Amino acid sequence: MKDPYDRIILRQATLADLPLVEHWDKQPHVIDSDPDDDWNWAVELARFPDWREQLVAELDGRPIGFVQIIDPAREETHYWGDVPENLRAIDIWIGEAEDLGQGYGKAMIYLALDRCFSDDAVTGVLVDPLASNVRAHRFYEREGFKFIERRKFGGEDCFVYRIDR
């Protein structure tokens, strides 16, 4: 069997994905990783600001997850606060519980990192899993991300990790 990295693609999310991402957003494992976020999918899937990409991961044509890549210095809500230029920040999740633990997240993160670092100006990528999400911490650390700080984002206690070029 081919490695998941060879079988997964990231494609632009569109309004046609609205029922899918709304369904995924109600899954217990997704809620556990991001309990208070309201993505306002109907609005956000129709917007294409130049500082963000919203992507659906597909395994052999089957949607399995979601990836968001932003330029945190330019993002309009200033979620990341005052950050240097030339960084990217990634949100990533697997949609269905049965797809967890299959290596899909690793493939998705590498595809997202490839996308981020395809811009020669990008020097590093940030992620912000919940402080309580030990599984995510281990995942990011295994993939080479370094812990930077513990920080509150909108009331959520998070760990900030960074990987550099």
Q: For 7-59, how does the pLDDT look when each residue is reduced to its tens digit (9 = 90+)?
A: 999 999 999 999 999 999 988 888 777 756 677 899 999 999 999 999 999 99
Triad 92, 95, 97: Cα angle to 5°: 115
Cα separation, 160 vs 48, whole angstroms: 26
* Rounded mean pLDDT, 132-158: 92
**Annotated domain spans of the chain:** 4-164
Q: Which residue has the tokens 């990008």?
A: 122
| Number of residues in the chain | 165
Question: What's residue 55's pLDDT?
Answer: 98
* Rounded mean pLDDT, 142-152: 95
Beta strands in the chain, from DSSP E residues, in sequence order = 8-12, 52-59, 62-70, 87-94, 124-127, 146-153, 156-164
Fold of 4-164: Aminopeptidase (3.40.630)
Question: What's residue 32's pLDDT?
Answer: 77
* Rounded mean pLDDT, 58-85: 94
Q: 153 has which bridge partners?
A: 156
Residue partners of 40: CB distance under 8 A and separation at least 6:
none
pTM of the model: 0.91
SS3 133: coil
Residue 1's pLDDT band, with cuts at 50, 70 and 90, is: very low
Q: 127 has which bridge partners?
A: 161
Of 32-46, 103-117, 133-147, minimum mean pLDDT range? 32-46
* Rounded mean pLDDT, 57-68: 96
Cα separation, 164 vs 144, whole angstroms: 9
Q: Which residue has the tokens 């509150």?
A: 152
The C-alpha R_g of the chain, in whole angstroms, comes to 15
* Chain centre to alpha carbon of residue 70: 9
Residue 110 has pLDDT above 90, yes or no: yes
Cα separation, 127 vs 138, whole angstroms: 13
Question: What's residue 35's pLDDT?
Answer: 59
